[in-house]
């Protein structure tokens, strides 16, 4: 009789222990997922705040800061597939006649780009930053966009901020002024580095 009682209590204790371990494990998973979500939302907010600061601070010299994704619908870039650029986070300084952030997202998402754009992205992978002086660009899609009445961009710093799978994540920080001075360029590169660190 005692033998059966000991076995019974042993089974009860084992079952109780399994339940406790399962509950603790589930709590850790929930807390881990919650903690990761908390951290990721914080990084998202910081990245957006950097772009917002660049266009809202008149001393930055930047009037348009946009995060883009370059991709070909999932695979590696290839001559037999089209290549697209999508707007992820657009920020602009309010001004008459120029596109708003929502209009930029609507107009330039899922944009099929040309060879000049692809060469620029390839250079970006090597250099991390590409500074474009629109007046010196050859005829191409990006020059047409920058020269349009809705844009009137004169200079643009394009910065690599991450690689996600087969996609290139980059930001453009542009100005309609005739000169992107050393201070503006330094601050734009610093903002890009901060965003790159957040994405990593």
Q: DSSP characters for 63-92?
A: SEEEEEEEESTTS---TTS--EEEEEEEEE
Residue 28 has pLDDT above 70, yes or no: no
pLDDT tens per residue across span 108-152: 999 999 999 999 999 999 999 999 999 999 999 999 999 998 999
1-10, 58-67, 78-87, 98-107: segment of lowest average pLDDT: 1-10
Q: Give me the pLDDT at residue 30, please.
A: 56
Q: Give me the pLDDT at residue 39, please.
A: 85
Domain boundaries, the chain: 49-199
Nearest to 200 by CA among 47, 84, 73, 32: 47
Nearest to 127 by CA among 155, 160, 157, 156: 160
8 or 166: which leads in pLDDT: 166
Ranges 3-12, 95-104, 185-194, most confident: 185-194
pLDDT band at 45 (very low <50, low <70, confident <90, very high): very high
Measure the CA dihedral 183/185/186/192, to 10°: 140
- The CATH homologous superfamily to which domain 49-199 belongs is GAF domain (3.30.450.40)
Q: Under a CB-based contact definition with an 8 Å cutoff, are residues 171 and 195 in contact?
A: yes
Mean pLDDT for 41-67 is 92
Q: Give me the pLDDT at residue 71, please.
A: 93
Q: Under a CB-based contact definition with an 8 Å cutoff, are residues 190 and 197 in contact?
A: no
């Amino acid at each position: 009789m005692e033998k059966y009682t000991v076995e019974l209590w042993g089974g009860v204790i084992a079952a109780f222990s399994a339940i406790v371990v399962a509950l603790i494990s589930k709590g850790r998973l929930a807390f881990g997922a919650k903690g990761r979500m908390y951290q990721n939302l914080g990084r998202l907010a910081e990245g957006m705040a950097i772009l917002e600061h660049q266009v809202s601070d008149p001393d930055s010299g930047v009037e348009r800061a946009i995060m883009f994704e370059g991709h070909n619908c999932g695979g590696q870039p290839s001559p037999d597939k089209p290549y697209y650029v999508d707007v992820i986070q657009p920020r602009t300084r309010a001004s008459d006649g120029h596109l708003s952030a929502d209009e930029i997202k609507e107009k330039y998402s899922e944009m099929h780009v040309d060879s000049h754009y692809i060469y620029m992205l390839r250079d970006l992978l090597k250099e991390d930053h590409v500074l474009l002086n629109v007046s010196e660009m050859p005829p191409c899609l990006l020059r047409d966009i920058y020269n349009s009445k809705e844009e009137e961009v004169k200079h643009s710093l394009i910065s690599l901020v991450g690689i996600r799978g087969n996609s290139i994540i980059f930001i453009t920080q542009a100005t309609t002024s005739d000169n992107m001075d050393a201070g503006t360029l330094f601050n734009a590169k610093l903002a890009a580095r901060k965003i790159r660190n957040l994405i990593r």
